[in-house]
Amino acid sequence: MKNRLLSSLAAIIIIAILSFSCSTAPDKVPDDGKIILTPKPGPEPRINGTKIFGVRPGSPFMFKIPATGLRPIKYEVINLPDGLTCDNSTGMITGTLNSPGEYKTIVRATNNKGTAEREFRIVCGEQLALTPHMGWNSWYVWENHVTDSIMRAAADAMVSSGMIDHGYMYINIDDCWSVKPGSDDPSLTGEPRDASGMINSNKRFPDMKDMTDYIHSLGLKAGIYTSPGELTCAGHVAAYQYEEKDVARFVEWGFDFLKYDWCSYSKVGNKELLEDLQKPYLLISSIIRKQNRDIILNLCQYGMGDVWKWGKQVGGQSWRTAGDLGGSFEGIGKALFRDGFDVYSRDSLHLYGGPGGWNDPDYLLIGYLSNWKGQTVPTPLTPNEQYTHVSLWSIVAAPLIFSGDITRLDEFTLSLLTNDEIIEVDQDPLGKPGYRVSKNGDTEVWIRNLEDGSKAVGLFNRGENEAEVTAVWEEIGVTGKQRVRDLWRQKDLGDFSDKYTSTVPVHGVVMLRLWPEKL
């Protein structure tokens, strides 16, 4: 009896401990309805990510070859130009190129299961961002709680999750790293600038240089954010009248990417005037251009003044095409269809993006996000909407910047982020963004022309009922027999002669690639 009592007591204690640890453990995203289509990477080596990379003469070069496959992998680069070297065990290519030109190299990755080889073009010249940026940004999960340790943990997770092996490269802090005047939070207060006017980080970022050194040591690049006004959107110190000094500071700290918002610049310039819209970006890009460091400039002014028509001219490597995709948590689904599909087709945005300057419809809002009420919760997008989100972004050649919690990636979210055949569409070196070719009620067919002469085709269903969607060869501009491949499943579907029809789920997509028979 006593024994039984004791064992029941023990069982109660164990259950209590277990339920306590369960309630404190990170929530699991419920897997209902989440069908993972992306096959897991095999043990043999596969080289992923961009096939072309731009650098300016004299700037420090850093590129880590992204490859999946069993470790250890030995990396080699054939025809690497003078000035660059490749670390055979990490795949990091570093050095400096002084002579402009296009250098065609062959990248090779070998493990005990085999060897993979791929052409990798290094273009030394004026253009950076020859394919859309890939990375992570802190905003939609950490908003104004971001810290140094969050950034380091994000960089670690980029490596441990394997995202780095699929081409993800940037770890970007968004707003809230500088001092916030008038804040009653002691971690945000302090001197906004030092005696010489150089901007200070707030106490949540005790040593920016050490942080970017850490990010770089993992083979990643680091990004930062500010605004041309006096304050950022969240009310932190920004760059107005300190532009030269702030860029010098970002260089000293070792940043590789700058998101330049508009907020509070409305007090300085008139957003109805094109000249005023362009002025802060012309100024910052001319300062950046003088640095001995390649810094990608991302314009964040929500598409004002049809920024896609001049974003590249004012020195941007990408420009936001609309407001915040996740401005309202509950509204993400609506925004996805509006800012993704509608803005792109209405304004023919495909005519403007390309190598060196990309349309940016905002971040990938999947996985765990802030609900703006103090919690991080799973994305409100349904699994099919998430497939639609990533597929559309790759068709329109959008930057693939994930902004959910990278330290809490469930298998489904990871599978959406790491499908190499979808990423290959996004990163296609021809750099021609895709566009809508047909709309039939709630269904749409989008295509993107790819460098090898093939086409990516998205069959989308925006409706509330499952629907059949057909890609008609004549409409998408191909003739004759085509080899059709399902990109999410990475499976050939067969040869088709004049059309291909598929049943597409509610708010879902089927992503195809078509090769003419002769390719």
Please pick, from the candidates 148, 174, 360, 405, the single residue that binds ligand GAL as defined by CB under 6 A: 174
Verify binding: residue 300, ligand GAL, rule CB under 6 A: yes
Q: Which two tokens stand for residue 201?
A: 């980080």
Kindly state the helix (H) or strand (E) to which residue 222 belongs, with its residue range: strand 221-226
> Looking at beta carbons only, is 238 or 397 nearer to ligand GAL?
238
Please pick, from the candidates 92, 199, 234, 369, the single residue that binds ligand GAL as defined by CB under 6 A: 234
Residue span binding ligand GAL (CB under 6 A) among the ranges 11-19, 200-208, 231-239, 333-341: 231-239
Verify binding: residue 146, ligand GAL, rule CB under 6 A: no
Verify binding: residue 232, ligand GAL, rule CB under 6 A: yes
**Total binding residues for ligand GAL by CB under 6 A?**
11
> Looking at beta carbons only, is 64 or 133 nearer to ligand GAL?
133
Task: Give the chain's radius of gyration (CA, Å).
Answer: 24
> Looking at beta carbons only, is 41 or 132 nearer to ligand GAL?
132
- Residue 150: name the closest of 456, 501, 408, 496 by CA: 408
Shortest Cβ distance from residue 165 to ligand GAL (Å)?
27
Verify binding: residue 365, ligand GAL, rule CB under 6 A: no
Q: Would you say 438 and 475 are in contact if contact means Cβ atoms under 8 Å apart?
A: yes
Verify binding: residue 230, ligand GAL, rule CB under 6 A: no
Shortest Cβ distance from residue 301 to ligand GAL (Å)?
8
CB closest to ligand GAL, residue no: 233
- Residue 399: name the closest of 304, 343, 324, 318 by CA: 318
User: Would you please indicate which residues are annotated as catalytic (active-site) residues?
Assistant: 261, 324
Shortest Cβ distance from residue 438 to ligand GAL (Å)?
32
Please pick, from the candidates 53, 63, 139, 446, the single residue that binds ligand GAL as defined by CB under 6 A: 139
> Looking at beta carbons only, is 174 or 256 nearer to ligand GAL?
174
Token pair 């790293």 is found at 177
Q: Which two tokens stand for residue 368?
A: 């765990």
**Degrees (nearest 5) of the Cα angle 164, 167, 170?**
70
Please pick, from the candidates 175, 385, 410, 444, the single residue that binds ligand GAL as defined by CB under 6 A: 175
How many angstroms separate the CA atoms of 450 and 380, rounded? 32
Which amino acid, 499?
K
Shortest Cβ distance from residue 139 to ligand GAL (Å)?
5
How many angstroms separate the CA atoms of 428 and 431, rounded? 6
Cα separations (Å) of 433 from 9, 72, 78, 216, 450?
Answer: 65, 36, 30, 30, 9
Overall size of the chain counted in residues: 519
> Looking at beta carbons only, is 231 or 417 nearer to ligand GAL?
231
Shortest Cβ distance from residue 263 to ligand GAL (Å)?
5
Please pick, from the candidates 164, 233, 314, 457, the single residue that binds ligand GAL as defined by CB under 6 A: 233
Residue span binding ligand GAL (CB under 6 A) among the ranges 115-123, 200-208, 229-237, 382-390: 229-237
Shortest Cβ distance from residue 65 to ligand GAL (Å)?
30
Verify binding: residue 165, ligand GAL, rule CB under 6 A: no
Shortest Cβ distance from residue 330 to ligand GAL (Å)?
18
Verify binding: residue 360, ligand GAL, rule CB under 6 A: no
CB-side neighbour CA atoms (13 Å) of 49: 25
Contact positions with ligand GAL (CB under 6 A) in 188-217: none
> Looking at beta carbons only, is 256 or 261 nearer to ligand GAL?
261
Under 8 Å CB-to-CB from 472, ≥6 apart: which residues?
438, 498, 499
Please pick, from the candidates 324, 410, 420, 428, the single residue that binds ligand GAL as defined by CB under 6 A: 324
> Looking at beta carbons only, is 261 or 424 nearer to ligand GAL?
261
> Looking at beta carbons only, is 124 or 322 nearer to ligand GAL?
322
Q: How far apart are the first and last CA of the chain?
A: 79
Cis geometry, peptide bond prior to residue 72 (ω within 30 degrees of 0): yes
Residue span binding ligand GAL (CB under 6 A) among the ranges 3-11, 177-185, 226-234, 366-374: 226-234
Kindly state the helix (H) or strand (E) to which residue 360 belongs, with its residue range: strand 358-360
Dihedral sign, Cα of residue 146, residue 419, residue 129, residue 299: negative
Under 8 Å CB-to-CB from 391, ≥6 apart: which residues?
422, 458, 460, 488, 509, 511
Cα separations (Å) of 507 from 335, 416, 442, 463, 504?
Answer: 13, 16, 9, 6, 8
Residue span binding ligand GAL (CB under 6 A) among the ranges 228-236, 270-278, 352-360, 388-396: 228-236
Verify binding: residue 157, ligand GAL, rule CB under 6 A: no
Contact positions with ligand GAL (CB under 6 A) in 258-297: 261, 263
Q: How many CB atoms lie within 10 A of CB 117?
A: 14
> Looking at beta carbons only, is 107 or 188 nearer to ligand GAL?
188
Residue span binding ligand GAL (CB under 6 A) among the ranges 160-168, 216-224, 225-233, 289-297: 225-233
**Degrees (nearest 5) of the Cα angle 15, 16, 19?**
80
Three-state SS letters, 449-462? ECCCCCEEEEEEEC
How many angstroms separate the CA atoms of 160 and 298, rounded? 27
Residue span binding ligand GAL (CB under 6 A) among the ranges 18-26, 118-126, 188-196, 232-240: 232-240
Interface residues with ligand GAL (CB under 6 A)?
139, 174-175, 225, 232-234, 261, 263, 300, 324
